[in-house]
């Protein structure tokens, strides 16, 4: 018995691949149609416009990124060091699997800041604040466990150290001549190394 094909899902999968790889402008509806094994007219029949399709993919990507960190930061059962280790590990794994997402997000925000900015805020609204994390930092600082640092700076540093290497992977690849396997090993090592780097930096 032939498995029933889900055309809509095929299209979404194809669009995710093509948009994340190429960005809005360089992605074409023709590429997406080919990738989904349908023709151009069908693609427009299911999703009326390129914009419609694009925003579905964008919202999904940004939501994934955001939920991952928000969920951990607002968990009041984890201490500050555990949070750092978990975020670093999960982000590095995530960017290994989805290497194009960070550039995809940044690129589209620059292309269309107002519209994309609005959409990001919609994804964020229902999520609890980072107050838990901020309080924890203040508390540990007062106890003399860590150096003074703002939650904003610490989060920015954590994200920088996780995201940038994934983002610049293609550049490092070209310049270093490392093989795929060597890069993989480095990336796996970095989970511990980066967490240690951050924790060494704040712990007194």
Partner DNA sequence: GTCTATAGCGGGATAGAC
Partner DNA sequence: GTCTATCCCGCTATAGAC
Residue 111 is a binding residue for DNA (CB under 7 A): no
Q: Give how far Cα 99 sits from Cα of 39, 77, 79, 102, 198, Å.
A: 28, 30, 29, 7, 23
- Residues 42-71 touching DNA, rule: CB under 7 A, are 42, 44-45, 48-51
Residue 25 touching a copy of itself (CB under 8 A): yes
The Cα 134–Cα 12 span in angstroms is 38
Residue ranges in 89-118 that form contacts with a copy of itself under rule CB under 8 A: 100, 103, 105-107, 109-111, 113, 116-117
* Shortest distance (Å) from residue 69 CB to a copy of itself: 12
- Does position 28 interact with DNA (CB under 7 A)? The reply is yes
Q: Classify each residue of 88-106 as buried b or exposed e, where b means 16 or more C-beta atoms within 10 Å of its C-beta.
A: bbbbbebbbebbbbbbbbe
Residues whose CB is less than 8 angstroms from the CB of residue 67 and which lie 6 or more positions away in sequence, other chains included: 127
State how far the Cα of 62 lies from the Cα of 75, in Å rounded to an integer. 20
Q: Show the binding pattern over residues 142-181: x = contacts a copy of itself (CB under 8 A), - = does not.
A: -----x-x--xx--xx-xxx-xxx-xx-xxxxxx------
The alpha carbon of 24 is separated from its chain's Cα centroid by a whole number of angstroms, namely 17
> Using CB under 8 A as the criterion, which residues of the chain lie in contact with a copy of itself when the complex forms?
21-23, 25-26, 100, 103, 105-107, 109-111, 113, 116-117, 120-121, 124, 147, 149, 152-153, 156-157, 159-161, 163-165, 167-168, 170-175, 186, 190, 193-194, 197-198, 200-202
């Amino acid at each position: 018995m032939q498995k029933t094909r889900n055309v809509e899902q095929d299209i979404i999968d194809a669009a995710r691949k093509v948009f994340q790889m190429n960005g809005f402008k360089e992605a074409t509806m023709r590429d997406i149609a080919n990738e989904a094994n349908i023709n151009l007219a069908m693609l427009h029949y299911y999703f009326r416009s390129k914009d419609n399709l694009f925003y579905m993919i964008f919202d999904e990507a940004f939501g994934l990124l955001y939920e991952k960190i928000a969920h951990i930061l607002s968990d009041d059962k984890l201490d500050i060091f555990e949070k750092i280790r978990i975020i670093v590990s999960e982000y590095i794994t995530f960017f290994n699997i989805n290497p194009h997402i960070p550039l995809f997000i940044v690129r589209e925000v620059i292309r269309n800041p107002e519209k994309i900015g609005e959409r990001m805020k919609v994804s964020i609204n229902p999520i609890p604040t980072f107050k838990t994390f901020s309080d924890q930092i203040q508390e540990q600082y007062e106890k003399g466990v860590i150096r003074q640092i703002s939650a904003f700076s610490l989060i920015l540093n954590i994200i920088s150290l996780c995201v940038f290497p994934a983002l610049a992977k293609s550049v490092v690849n070209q310049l270093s001549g490392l093989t795929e396997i060597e890069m993989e090993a480095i990336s796996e090592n970095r989970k511990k190394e980066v967490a240690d780097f951050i924790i060494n930096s704040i712990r007194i």
